[in-house]
Amino acid sequence: MGLRALASALATTPGSASRLLKERAERRREAWGAYRVFEPERAVARRVDQGAFRGQPLAGLPVSVKDLFGVSGFDVWAGSKRELPARFEAEGPLISALRRQGAPIMGKTHTVEFAFGGIGTNGHWNTPENPRVPGHVPGGSSSGAPASLVEGSAAFALGSDTAGSVRIPASFSGVVGFKPSNGRWSRAGMVPLSPTLDTAGLLTLSVDDADFVVRGLEGAPIRGGDRSIAGLRLGRLSRHVWEDADPAVVDSVDAALARLASAGAKVVDAKVPETGAALGLFRKGSVTAAECHAFLATELPRWLFELEPKVRSRVLAGAQLSAVEYLRRRGRIERLRKRVRERALDGTIWVAPTTAQTAPRREDVESPEDYGRLNLLALRNTSIANTLGWCALSLPCGADGEGRPIGLMMMAPAGRDLELLAAGRAVERVLGAADQVF
């Protein structure tokens, strides 16, 4: 049952919110390790049943929250080896919106340490299972979110995305990941990685579910923005995003685009020069490491010296970036964002593989060298949207010969979030939602 139908049932069936919460809590598979802490808020469900949140679309829908967000009653660890100071438990606007809506918070899901990594492993905690292909990494940094969805303990998941941290686990684990336009949602109440590039984001089991949650959080009309696949203009981005991609990824994404074309979409080759420039900046290191180091050195100096090795090496590299070079990179990002805003827009939705590879096996990322190479490859394509400030969406479009999920990424200019979700819903009706693909 999709979230629209589930929300309608909760609103019209007495006592259903408490029953749903109990049933969802029982679905938790502890061996999958989605949560750092799991404490369903039953009091909220009772208040939903009592009508305290009447008219709120997300009332009673269980949500998991990445352990970067401040949530009253839950401590924050941000994937590190020790609890963060109590000030980080202060709730920001997104958590406050969930509270006002009456969405029960099931617990805090695991994250890569300080969200700095796309593979999903964590040397301080057990890495969550990939719920589609056990023995493989789940993708990161919102690494526990997919398992919380697929096991059913959460109806949707709140994560963060700095260079792909909701879309990579969505691609690796066969669910949907949505990154809003940079600046659309407040970052307050979220432990920062890179203020220049950070956004909050969502993981769901379908694009339709993501659209429903976004509209609920933003107070937009719950029904609206529907469109047909006929005439939808999809721009297949040029060679940069296809380099070094697994053949299975290329074949699956191109097969999906062929199906969409047969259904009436207009698929064209697209050249967006700013995407190549964004990838060039990503390869240089952008500003993430420098901003992460500055935050830790200022706010959490003790934690800076306790980072796990795969995170520490990259964070300390940020300390070596000169102020001149940091400002040069920041300026480059702002100029690229300005150029894409000024570009004449024709309604095109740009498409590419979400990740150039499928989920690696756990043993394949154990060495620092292999981890570093595969981590950069995982983050490469998704980083484009963060650098340019675009909204972006990953949805399942198939699997390789071993059953490892493959994601199709759709991107649109900043501010076209609801339009992107409407296009994603049209694409999903052709390709099938996650529960149909897997």
- Which of 202, 188, 236, 194 minimizes the C-alpha distance to 69? 188
Catalytic residue, chosen from 18, 66, 153, 252, is 66
DSSP 3-state of 408 = strand
Name the phi and psi angles at 351, rounded to 5: -130, 150
**Which position among 141, 194, 286, 383 bears the catalytic label?**
141
Residue 238 known to be catalytic: no
Question: Among this protein's residues, is 66 annotated catalytic?
Answer: yes
Rounded CA separation 289/376 (Å): 13
Q: Is 328 helix (H, G, I), strand (E, B) or coil?
A: helix
Burial of 143 per CB tally in 10 Å (0-12, 13-18, 19+): buried
E-assigned strands of 163-317? 176-179, 199-204, 233-237, 266-270
Paired with 407 in beta bridges are: 396
Structure-token pair, residue 355: 């990740």
Handedness of CA 370, 163, 350, 226 (dihedral sign): positive
Strands across the sheet containing 199-204: 35-38, 105-109, 63-66, 156-161, 199-204, 176-179, 391-399, 405-412, 349-353, 233-237, 266-270
Q: CA distances (Å), 372 to each of 206, 305, 353, 365, 375, in order?
A: 31, 20, 20, 8, 5
CA angle, corner 267, sides to 264 and 268, nearest 5? Answer: 150
What span, in angstroms and rounded, lies between the C-alpha atoms of 376 and 316?
Answer: 17
Query: Given CA atoms 95, 98, 104, 106 in this order, what sign does their dihedral have?
Result: negative
Which tokens hold the place of 63?
């949500």
Is position 141 annotated as part of the catalytic site? yes
Burial of 243 (0-12, 13-18, 19+ CB in 10 A): exposed
User: 64, 80, 142, 165: which is the annotated catalytic residue?
Assistant: 165
Cβ-contact 392, 382 below 8 angstroms: yes
364-369 CB contacts, 8 Å cutoff, 24+ apart: 365/119, 365/121, 365/137, 368/309, 368/310, 368/313
Active site residues: 66, 141, 165
